[in-house]
Amino acid sequence: MGRDAAAAGGTGHGVTNASEKTLLVLEAALAHTRFTDVVEATGLAKATTHRIIATLIDHQFVVADADGRYLPGPKVLALAGRALEHIDISAIAKPFADALVGRVRCTVHVGAAAGDEVIYLVRTDSDKPYQMPSRVGATIPMHSSGIGKVILAACTDEEVDRFVARAGLPPRTEHTITTPEALRAEIGRVRSRGYALDREENVPGVRCVAAPIRDHTGTVRYGLSISTLAVEHTEDQVEAMSAEAVRAADAISAALGHHPR
């Protein structure tokens, strides 16, 4: 049995027809620059892989540079550009937010950076007899919100300093971070643990845990938060939901095309 046939038999990628092989090679060629790496990633025979890559190059889905490395071709880039024009983050994120609400029984928000603020794009409520004082389309400060903190944590230190100089750190509650030194320390904690906490810093009596959402380039433009009342969940209980927040945010990132190496 040949290598391709073995792969089709279930020990490899389960490839059964020419179309699947072509898609498999295209995906591998966009992720790897060397022929040997593409062959290894696909599990196909060298001759089969070479033939498919030659076709992809002929049709401009892949190009080879002077050193023989594979790069995305103009057809792929044009298709990606058209697809990105029509991405609706709200529609993509809503099913994941709904599913998360079912697991944690708290309000879930998805927000995006809007200048120096965060704008709510999605709000999904639980079956609790109360609702959060938030609404889709409303903006909140970066420095006092969980979503804002995960977005700031993805910025460089210089970008954070410029943000502070532009926006300032106005207090929203008695718990709001209002000094550059405290914000830098908080950003450091967010970077190290991969999620952020809002300890009644934006709205009195409301706590949240937030996780970053990455687009197809790996850039953090969005965030997801789980919000609850302080009288219902302690800070430790809110932080215990961080794994759920990160898992849901990662799932949305994957749906946006982010594939961590």
Q: Is residue 128 assigned to a domain?
A: yes
Q: Please check the confidence at residue 3 and state whether its pLDDT lies above 60.
A: no
Q: What is the pLDDT of residue 80?
A: 67
Report the distance separating Cα 52 and Cα 232, nearest Å.
Answer: 58
Are 79 and 202 in the same domain? no
Are 140 and 34 in the same domain? no
Are 249 and 149 in the same domain? yes
Higher pLDDT, 72 or 196: 196
Are 109 and 13 in the same domain? no
CATH number at residue 52: 1.10.10.10
Report the distance separating Cα 201 and Cα 168, nearest Å.
Answer: 15
Are 78 and 128 in the same domain? no
Report the distance separating Cα 24 and Cα 56, nearest Å.
Answer: 12
Per the structure block, which two tokens stand in for 150? 């995960």
Final residue in a domain of this structure, among 85, 113, 132? 85
Are 231 and 155 in the same domain? yes
Are 121 and 175 in the same domain? yes
- 73-117 pLDDT tens trace: 888 777 766 665 556 788 899 999 999 999 999 999 999 998 899
- 224-253 pLDDT tens trace: 999 999 999 999 999 999 999 999 999 999
Are 71 and 96 in the same domain? no
**Domain containing residue 63:** 3-85
Which 3 state secondary structure label does DSSP give 195?
A: coil
Report the distance separating Cα 252 and Cα 97, nearest Å.
Answer: 9
Are 117 and 188 in the same domain? yes
Per the structure block, which two tokens stand in for 250? 């990662």
Total domain count, the chain: 2
Are 10 and 109 in the same domain? no
Final residue in a domain of this structure, among 41, 58, 85? 85
